[in-house]
Amino acid sequence: MKLKKLSDIKAKQAKPAAVPPAERQTAKDDSEITALSLQRGKLSPAMEAYFGKCQEKLGFVPNVLTAYAFDNAKLEAFVGMYNDLMLAPSGLSKLEREMIAVAVSSVNRCYYCLVAHGAAVRALSGDPALGELMVMNYRAARLSKRQRAMLDFAAKLTAEPWAIEEEDREALRKAGFSECDIWDIAAVAGFYNMSNRVASATDMRPNSVYHSRARG
């Protein structure tokens, strides 16, 4: 048998030609944010400042905020709830709250939230693989008993909310969560179930920059 030359093998394994930027899947995600024709409304000084803060800290304004900008009252309500649930003091760490966001979004198959919050898990954990595991199947990740109990509850609350019983809450207590923590787990899961449905209903697209963030 004639052995193939290494050079021939490498030639066959050459990288495919790069897809031109204008033809990439994300080409229009930063300009056509939703499938609805909604014009940006007049924002309050507080929301204008909030957009400026996002631009300064992140380098961009998350598309979900731009999507809500057609109605300042709706935008302020969304931002207020997000800031309270995701950034305010809690017995849940910021990473744990982002993990809930991704686990819920995985059940709901929400493209926007899986991309955006998957990137947040990668960044906060310093472990790119964890972000991918949360997106695909959190049960395959090597999680602590606390994290697994938290995500099992959030996933069940998403898929079968009517099936939540005292034994589910007791499982969280046994994992070390306080009564306030259980409320926060439920509130974060509930918020992302709402957000997932709005994002899916409007075909909301995540900022293209999220795809490459915190990948090692």
Say what the pLDDT of residue 21 is: 67
Say what the pLDDT of residue 31 is: 82
Say what the pLDDT of residue 29 is: 76
Say what the pLDDT of residue 6 is: 58
Q: Where are the domains of the chain?
A: 42-88, 92-212
Cα–Cα separations (whole angstroms), residue 71 to 68, 200, 201: 6, 19, 17
- Rounded to 5 degrees, what angle do the CA atoms 171, 174, 178 make? 95
* Helices then strands, each counted (H, E), the chain: 10, 0
The Cβ of residue 51 has, within 10 Å, a number of other Cβ atoms equal to: 17
Residues 188 and 205: their CA atoms lie apart, in Å, by 21
Q: In this structure, what token pair is assigned to residue 118?
A: 């998957």
Classified as helix, coil or strand, 140 is: helix
pLDDT in tens, 94-139: 999 999 999 999 999 999 999 999 999 999 999 999 999 999 999 9
Say what the pLDDT of residue 185 is: 98
145's enclosing H/E stretch is helix 145-159
Say what the pLDDT of residue 105 is: 98
Say what the pLDDT of residue 13 is: 64
Give the chain's residues under pLDDT 50.
none
DSSP annotation of 212 reads: G
What's the fold here for domain 42-88?
1.20.5
The Cβ of residue 192 has, within 10 Å, a number of other Cβ atoms equal to: 27
Classified as helix, coil or strand, 154 is: helix
Give the amino acid at 131: G
pTM of the model: 0.88
Q: Are 105 and 204 in contact (CB under 8 A)?
A: no
Residues 155 and 188: their CA atoms lie apart, in Å, by 12
What's the fold here for domain 92-212?
AhpD-like (1.20.1290)
Say what the pLDDT of residue 190 is: 98
Say what the pLDDT of residue 22 is: 61
Q: In this structure, what token pair is assigned to residue 134?
A: 């949360």
| Among 48, 41, 49, residue whose Cα is nearest residue 68 | 41
